Amino acid sequence: MIGIVGYGSYLPRYRIKVEDIAHQWGRDSETIKRGLLLKEKTVPGLDEDTITISVEAAKNALKRAGIDPGEIGALYIGSESHPYAVKPSGTVVAEALGVVPNVHIADYEFACKAGTEAMFVAYGLVKADLVKYAMGVGADTSQGAPGDALEFSASAGGSAFIFGKEDVVADVLDTFSYTTDTPDFWRREGAFYPLHGGRFTGIPAYFKHVLGAGKAILERSGYKPSDFAYAIFHMPNGKFPLTAGKKLGFTKEQMEPGWIVPLMGNTYSGSSPTGFSATLDIAKPKDLILLVSFGSGAGSDAFIFKMTDRINEVRDKAEKLKSMLENNRIYLDYGQYAKYRGKIIMNE
Amino acid sequence: MPSPGYRREMPQRYRLEAAKCKKCGKVSFPPRLVCSGCGSREFDKTKLSDNGKIVTYTTIRVAPAQFTTQVPYSIAIVEVDNGVRITTQVVDCKPEDLEIGKKVKLVFRKLYSEGHTGIICYGYKAILI
Distance CA B127, CA A313 (A): 27
Q: What is the torsional sign of CA A100, A273, A310, A165? A: negative
Q: Per mean pLDDT, which range of A155-159, A342-346, B14-18 is the poorest?
A: A342-346
Encode pLDDT of A285-335 as tens digits: 999 999 999 999 999 999 999 999 999 999 999 999 999 999 999 999 999
Domain holding A136: CATH number?
3.40.47.10
Q: Which residues of B touch A (CB under 8 A)?
A: 10, 14-15, 69-70, 91-93, 107-111, 115-116, 119-120, 122, 125, 127
pLDDT-based confidence at B116, cuts 50/70/90?
Answer: confident
What's residue A232's pLDDT?
98
| Long-range contacts, A96-100 (Cβ 8 Å, 24+) | A96/A55, A96/B14, A96/B15, A96/B108, A96/B122, A97/A55, A97/A58, A97/A59, A97/A62, A97/A69, A97/A72, A97/B15, A98/A69, A98/A70, A98/B15, A99/A69, A99/A70, A99/A72, A99/A75, A99/A135
What's residue A198's pLDDT?
74
Residues A47, B120: C-beta atoms closer than 8 Å: no
Domain encompassing residue A144: 3-169+328-340
Q: How far is the alpha carbon of B51 from chain A, nearest alpha carbon, in Å?
A: 14
Is A347 within the bounds of a domain? no
Encode pLDDT of A94-140 as tens digits: 999 999 999 999 999 999 999 999 999 999 999 999 999 999 999 99
Query: Do A90 and A217 fall into the same domain?
Result: no
Domains of chain A: total: 2
Overall average pLDDT of the B47-74 stretch: 95
Please report residues of A whose CB lies closer than 8 A to that of B70: 46-47
Encode pLDDT of A216-272 as tens digits: 999 999 999 999 999 999 999 999 999 999 999 999 999 999 999 999 999 999 999
Fill in the DSSP letter of residue A106. E
Encode pLDDT of A272-284 as tens digits: 999 999 999 999 9
Q: Which residues of A touch B (CB under 8 A)?
A: 12-14, 45-49, 51-52, 55-56, 59, 83-84, 87, 92, 95-98, 328, 330, 339, 346, 348
Is A120 within the bounds of a domain? yes
Q: Is residue A112 annotated as a catalytic residue, yes or no?
A: yes
Query: Do A215 and A257 fall into the same domain?
Result: yes
Query: Do B126 and B109 fall into the same domain?
Result: yes
What interface predicted TM-score (ipTM) does this complex get?
Answer: 0.96
Total number of residues shown for chain A: 348
How many A-B residue pairs are in contact by the CB < 8 A criterion? 53
pLDDT-based confidence at B2, cuts 50/70/90?
Answer: low
Q: How far is the alpha carbon of B67 from chain A, nearest alpha carbon, in Å?
A: 10
Residues A47, B111: C-beta atoms closer than 8 Å: yes
Three-state secondary structure call for residue A103: coil
Query: Do A133 and A181 fall into the same domain?
Result: no
Query: Do A111 and A21 fall into the same domain?
Result: yes
Give, in order, the Cα–Cα distances in Å from A204 to each of A32, A88, A183, A212, B107. 23, 32, 10, 11, 41
Is A315 within the bounds of a domain? no
Domains of chain B: total: 2
Spot the catalytic one: A82, A196, A209, A234.
A234
Query: Do A110 and A187 fall into the same domain?
Result: no
Q: How far is the alpha carbon of A264 from chain B, nearest alpha carbon, in Å?
A: 17
Residues A46, B70: C-beta atoms closer than 8 Å: yes
Spot the catalytic one: A112, A151, A196, A209.
A112
Residues A92, B92: C-beta atoms closer than 8 Å: no
Mean pLDDT score of chain A: 96
Share of chain B above pLDDT 90, in %: 86
B-chain residue closest to A98, CA distance:
B15
Query: Do A201 and A263 fall into the same domain?
Result: yes
Query: Do A123 and A181 fall into the same domain?
Result: no
Spot the catalytic one: A40, A48, A80, A117.
A80
Residues A51, B122: C-beta atoms closer than 8 Å: yes
What's residue B10's pLDDT?
94
Query: Do A183 and A284 fall into the same domain?
Result: yes
Query: Do B80 and B113 fall into the same domain?
Result: yes
Query: Do B95 and B125 fall into the same domain?
Result: yes
Domain holding B112: CATH number?
2.40.50.840
Query: Do B41 and B65 fall into the same domain?
Result: no
Query: Do B53 and B4 fall into the same domain?
Result: no
Query: Do B67 and B29 fall into the same domain?
Result: no
Q: How far is the alpha carbon of A22 from chain B, nearest alpha carbon, in Å?
A: 25
Mean pLDDT score of chain B: 94
pLDDT-based confidence at A345, cuts 50/70/90?
Answer: confident
Query: Do A154 and A297 fall into the same domain?
Result: no
Residues A342, A302: contact at Cβ < 8 Å?
A: no
pLDDT-based confidence at B68, cuts 50/70/90?
Answer: very high
Query: Do B31 and B42 fall into the same domain?
Result: yes
What's residue B3's pLDDT?
77
Query: Do B100 and B115 fall into the same domain?
Result: yes
A47 vs B93, B109, B119: nearest CB: B109
Encode pLDDT of A60-97 as tens digits: 999 999 999 999 999 999 999 999 999 999 999 999 99
Q: Is the pLDDT of residue A201 over 90?
A: no
Query: Do A187 and A99 fall into the same domain?
Result: no
Q: Is residue A80 annotated as a catalytic residue, yes or no?
A: yes
Which helix (DSSP H) or strand (DSSP E) does residue A87 occupy? Answer: none
Of A339, A299, A325, A310, nearest to A108 (Cα)? Answer: A299
Query: Do B29 and B64 fall into the same domain?
Result: no
Fill in the DSSP letter of residue B57. E
Residues A96, B91: C-beta atoms closer than 8 Å: no
Query: Do B67 and B122 fall into the same domain?
Result: yes
| B17-21 vs A288-292, strand pairing mode | unpaired
Please report residues of A whose CB lies closer than 8 A to that of B111: 47
Overall average pLDDT of the A42-48 stretch: 98
Domain encompassing residue B76: 49-129
Share of chain A above pLDDT 90, in %: 93
Query: Do A136 and A224 fall into the same domain?
Result: no
Segments in B1-129 forming alpha helices (H): 4-8, 10-15
Query: Do B121 and B74 fall into the same domain?
Result: yes
What's residue A246's pLDDT?
98
Q: Is residue A313 annotated as a catalytic residue, yes or no?
A: no
Share of chain A above pLDDT 70, in %: 100
Q: How far is the alpha carbon of B108 from chain A, nearest alpha carbon, in Å?
A: 6
Is A319 within the bounds of a domain? no
pLDDT-based confidence at B1, cuts 50/70/90?
Answer: low
Helix A239-248 with A208-221: angle, nearest 10 deg: 40
Is A313 within the bounds of a domain? no
Residues A55, B108: C-beta atoms closer than 8 Å: yes
Query: Do A175 and A247 fall into the same domain?
Result: yes
Residues A104, A74: contact at Cβ < 8 Å?
A: yes
pLDDT-based confidence at B42, cuts 50/70/90?
Answer: very high
Helix A271-280 with A114-127: angle, nearest 10 deg: 60
A-chain residue closest to B129, CA distance:
A328
Q: Is the pLDDT of residue A348 over 80?
A: no
Is A140 within the bounds of a domain? yes
Query: Do B83 and B115 fall into the same domain?
Result: yes
CA dihedral B25, B28, B33, B39 (to 10 degrees): -50
Residues A6, A62: contact at Cβ < 8 Å?
A: yes
Burial class of residue A44 (count of CB atoms within 10 Å of its CB; 0-12, 13-18, 19+):
buried
What's residue B115's pLDDT?
83
